[in-house]
A = this chain, B = another copy of it.
Amino acid sequence: MSLIVQKFGGTSVGTVEKIKAVAEKIAGFRARGHDVVVAVSAMSGETNRLIGLAHEIQKAPNPRELDVLVSTGEQVTIALLCMALENLGCQARSYTGAQVSILTDSSHTKARIREIDDRKIRQDLEAGRVVVVAGFQGVDEHNNITTLGRGGSDTTGVALAAALNADECQIYTDVEGVYTTDPRVVPNAKRLDQITFEEMLEMASLGSKVLQIRAVEFAGKYKVPLRVLSTFKEGPGTLITLDEENSTMEQPVVSGIAFNRDEAKVSVLGVPETPGVAAQILSAVGDANIEIDVIVQNISSDRLTNDLTFTVHRNELEKAKDIVEEIAGNLNARAVQTDDKITKVSVVGVGMRSHAGVASRMFKTLADENINIQMISTSEIKISVIIDERYLELAVRALHTAFELDNSEEA
Chain A 47-65 against B: per-residue CB contact (8 Å), 1 yes, 0 no?
0001001101110011011
When the two chains form their complex, are residues A83 and B65 in contact, meaning their CB atoms are under 8 A apart?
yes
Q: Which of A72-80, A170-178, A342-350 is near enough to bind chain B?
A: A72-80
Q: Chain A binding site: helix, strand, loop or mixed by DSSP?
A: helix
Chain A 27-49 against B: per-residue CB contact (8 Å), 1 yes, 0 no?
00000000000000000000000
> How far, in angstroms, from A98 to B68 measured CA to CA in the complex?
12
Number of copies: 2
When the two chains form their complex, are residues A84 and B98 in contact, meaning their CB atoms are under 8 A apart?
no
* Interchain CB contact (< 8 A) of A98 among B53, B54, B98: B98
Interface residues on A, range: 35 or more
Q: Which among A54, A68, A86, A94 has the highest number of chain B CB atoms within 10 Å?
A: A68
Q: Which among A72, A75, A78 has the highest number of chain B CB atoms within 10 Å?
A: A72
Question: Would you give the shortest CB distance from A102 to chain B, in whole angstroms?
Answer: 13
Contacts of A66 on B, CB cut-off 8 Å? Answer: 79, 83
Using CB atoms and an 8 Å cutoff, list the residues of chain A in contact with chain B: 16, 19-20, 50, 53-54, 56-58, 61-62, 64-66, 68-69, 71-72, 75-76, 78-80, 82-84, 86-87, 93-94, 96, 98-99, 143-145
Q: Could you list 18 examples of A-B contacts with CB < 8 Å?
A: A20-B57, A53-B80, A54-B80, A57-B84, A57-B87, A62-B83, A65-B78, A65-B83, A66-B83, A68-B79, A68-B82, A69-B76, A69-B80, A72-B75, A72-B76, A75-B75, A99-B143, A99-B144
